[in-house]
Structures are given as structure tokens and as C-alpha cells.
Chain A
């Protein structure tokens, strides 16, 4: 067999269903755990963040309006697509986090299972946190959880793939759209995830992937008037405080960083409810008849 030329992969952002380079044209070197060069990743600027928010806002109407059942199918489809590219992700996670192949495989499997887990939750969360309320009057009183809107996410720094999936999946499972900033030192699994999302029937713009310095990209996201919530999972103490102050301006929902020792543990529904708002509807039933009921 003749020698082939190496085909290096150009890692790109995933914004609005497309794979652009950074608007700034910048890249930075990504190394493995030993400091050896792996690839160049785009170094996003605040304009990339702005474009991503525009894309996320555009996608919000259709995604939040899709049936929960449909969202569940699409999340499951993401798991299917990931399964097909399992080897690639095992390699990328092993390189990024300095894990053995078996350890990395366990992380990737857990991430795939996480998509399946949240896929099942899409049409059940409303029954758990919403429902009919008994009230003293001739009304149906219904509480239903509604998505918050565009959620900016600073992805966990230490768990480049499982941690990332664990914070993104709950955001979109409930009908929000997301703009996330990948882990600074190990963005490659996140950028490859964009390719999986693009082939999973997930409408463009529902998830937007940025790579670069969280301090640079997250600040404009936190101050952005058209972002409704921010998840500070991967921000350190200083950055988290700064972002929380910037986010206060338009009363964004802020999810403060929470220490996670073991990303493989069953996550619970807290991350879903963090970006849900409860809408309560009073609907008149008409006057009560002699029997005490109008029906």
C-alpha cells in the first residue's frame, strides 16, 4: 500500500446548524494531557457569541413548540448517532483527559446513556413538576413547566465530554435552546459533538458550540440582553462572580457552579427544573350546579 498523506481534521464551531470558523479567524493549540499537540481549535470572539445567541433565539420558537415526545425522539437519535461514532469519542476523550482507553470508553458510554435518560424525561417532566391544583372556586387550575428561553452554558472544565453532555442535555430536553462554551483546554470532544448533533434531526441553532476562553466569551453572553439564563458549571469562583453580576442586569436565571464529584452518578431532575418556569393557568369551569359539580 502506498503512503497516504495525513488528513488532519479542522475543528470548527457549530452555530445555527452550520460549521463556521471563528469570525475572528483565530485558533489556539489544543494539547493532550501530556502537552503534545492534538489539533487547533477555533478561538471564539464575542461576535461568535453574539451570532450564536441570534441562532439560538431563532431556533427557540420551533424547539420549545415541538411536542415533548418529538424532543425525546430527537434526543434518543443523538444517542444513536453517538453510538455509531463511539471509537472516535473514546479516542478524543482519552487524549483530552489523559485516561486509559477503558476509562474513556466508560465515560463515553455514560454520556450516551445520559442522552437516553434525558430522552425519556422530555414528556415526563411536566407530570412531575406540573399538574392540576385543587383551588377553592369554579376553576381548573393547571401548572405547567415552560422552558426559560436561550440558556448560555459554561461547560465543565474537568469532564470534557460526560460533564458537557450532563449539562447540555437537560437544557434542551425541556425545550430551551443553548449556547455553550466548551472546556477551554479540552474542547475537541465538544466540537465533535456538534457534528453528531448536526446529523441527529436536531434543528440547527438549538445547540451552539463555541470554543475558546470562557472569560472572553462568557462575559458578553452573561451581559447579553437576549439570553434568559446562564449555567456557570465550568466557571471558576472569580469568573462565576463576575458573570453573576453581569447577568443580574436583565434578571437572568443563574445556576451557580455546583461541585460534582462523580459525573457518572444518576443526575436527578434538578438541572431540568433549573431552566423551567412554572406557568399557572386558571380556567373557569362555569358555575357549580346543585350537586356541587358543573359536570
Chain B
């Protein structure tokens, strides 16, 4: 463990000097104990969170939701409805916190921006030929610049999984730094690894470090468009990575699991992972997000249940 943050940052500066140093560094990361990782994630999922702790967790989870609509069929009306819901998730209860952000395709950023105007809700936009990422760098950068110009506060980029799996780590690194530059100083960059396509836990650990070295503000599990999305195990792995990265460099990076988190129970399990792995510093909408759409309704129904003592139903939340 290095003595100070600055010297550590210096030490890591060398690793991106060339493709071979970067590969040596990433392949030098300790291998992941898959069985241990899954067992740890599962055991943390058994914590019992009740009553006031549950109420706190639900409100915290709501304030961490990136309310997402990424469909070919998105209309301006749907994006406006989503924006209204993000600002005031439960119109019948004004104590409900707003969500962290809405997440849309780049061409819907302007509409979303208008819909959340006057609130603290951010507008995140996927870019870089989401979800496949199979386009030339110039196309990806144009995609990002347009989204930023339209007012996006956050950019969710996908890495070039093809290059990553082929071992061309520097290409991935250069792409992330180029996108980071295109984001400018205002927009935060979330880097999506699509963990379901990286096939091994070792690769997820390498991708996490690669993304953080390249200047990601957030590392994000997946697009939500493939079969395997956020799981407790791969999120735990990424939380360990951001914890270790901050210990070495002093730079804090956020984590965003996305896809497949649908129930309050799941969300609370992830919050336990965050608290027990990265620590309470990450228990904030600025450092941890849920990429989700149906999760919010379940959180609201649970919130109503806690407030009234009666089980709520889908008739009492919006149909999105």
C-alpha cells in the first residue's frame, strides 16, 4: 500500500504509457475468487433490514434511481411523463424524494431537460452508439458532443467490448479518455462495461480498473439490453475496485448497477453491499445509482405500505 495518494497516482500514471504496460498492469491484478465472491454477495444479501432502517433504505434507493427509458418506441410524451415522475415520484406523498436522474437516448435529452427543469434531477444520456458500441470513434464522439450540447448532465458510454476481449486495452483506454474529453468539465462520465459480455470476473475487475484509470466518474455494469445484467456478485466486485482505487489514488469513482433490479428487496441488498464494501461514503445519489425503470414503482409501493400499513398495488403507481 503506497504511503500517499499523490505518489500512488504517479505510480499508476506509468501503467497507461503503452499497450504492453497497461496489459501487464491489468493482468497483474489479483485474480478473483469466484466462489468466494458469490458467497460473500449472497451472504450480504441475507441481512434483515426492517422498520425505520427499511424506510431509510427505500428513500435512499429512490434518490439513487436513474429512471430509464431506452426503447426504440420512446416518444417525447413518454419522456416528459418520465421526467415528471422523476421530479415527483409519488404525487400523493410530497415527502417522497426525487430520483437522481432520468436516462434517455441523446435525441431525447432536450425534451427530458425541459421536463425536469427547475429541479435537481439530472439528465443522463447514453451515447457512443449504445448499446452495441460498434461504430467508429468519430461517430461515437459526435454522439457524445450532441448529447452534451443538448444539455445532458451525465453521459453513459459503452466500452468497445470487442477491443477489450481481443486484449487491445489501450484502444479502449484511448476511447474512454477521448469521450471524457468530449464530455467537457460539466458532464460526468459513466462507463458501461456490459459485464454480461465480459464472461469472467477477472475481466470485470480489469475493465473496472481500466475505466477508472481512463477517468470515468462512474463505472456501470451493463446496458440492460443483454441476458445477464447487474448481479450482486459483479456489483460487489466493482465496489471493491472503486474502494481500492480511492485508497491508491484518492479519487472517488461512483458505481451504477443497471438492468434486472426490479424489487425493493433487491435494491436494499445492493445498498448493503455498498455499505459493507465501499463504505458509507458511497451511500449517496452522487456516488451510487440504480439504472432501472420498474424498480421505482416497487419502491413506491413499499413506501406506501410502510406509511399506511396496507399492501399497495400497481393501481396506485403509474403505468410506464
Contacts and interface: CB of A to CB of B under 8 A. Distances in A.
Nearest to B316: A225
Interface of A: 50, 53, 57, 220, 223-227, 249
B310 A224 contact: yes
B268 to A, nearest CB: 15
Contact of B314 (A50, A220, A226, A227): A226
Contacts of A57: 313-314
Interface string B57-72: 0000000000000000
Contacts of A227: 313
B313 A225 contact: yes
A177 B161 CA distance: 46
A77 to B, nearest CB: 30
Interface residues of B, number: 9
21 contacts: A53-B311, A57-B313, A57-B314, A220-B310, A220-B311, A223-B309, A224-B310, A224-B313, A225-B304, A225-B310, A225-B311, A225-B312, A225-B313, A225-B315, A225-B316, A226-B312, A226-B313, A226-B314, A226-B315, A227-B313, A249-B310
A90 B315 CA distance: 43
Contacts of B304: 225
A223 B304 CA distance: 13
Contacts of A220: 310-311
Chain A: interface secondary structure?
A: helix
A50 B310 contact: no
Q: Which 4 A-B pairs have the closest CB atoms?
A: A226-B313, A223-B310, A225-B313, A224-B311
Nearest to B314: A226
A223 B314 contact: no
Nearest to A47: B311
Contacts of B313: 53, 57, 224-227
Interface in B269-291: none
A251 to B, nearest CB: 12
Interface string B287-320: 0000000000000000010000111111110000
Contacts of A50: 311
A220 B309 CA distance: 9
Nearest to A249: B310
A226 B298 CA distance: 13
A22 B312 CA distance: 21
A224 B314 CA distance: 11
B151 to A, nearest CB: 38
A57 B312 CA distance: 12
A57 B313 CA distance: 10
Contacts of B310: 220, 223-225, 249
Pick from A223, A226, A227 the residue with the most CB of B within 10 Å. A226
B236 to A, nearest CB: 26
A146 to B, nearest CB: 16
A295 to B, nearest CB: 39
A211 B313 CA distance: 23
A163 to B, nearest CB: 27
Interface in B69-102: none
Contacts of A226: 311-315
Contacts of A225: 304, 310-313, 315-316
A216 B262 CA distance: 28
Nearest to A53: B311
Contacts of B312: 225-226
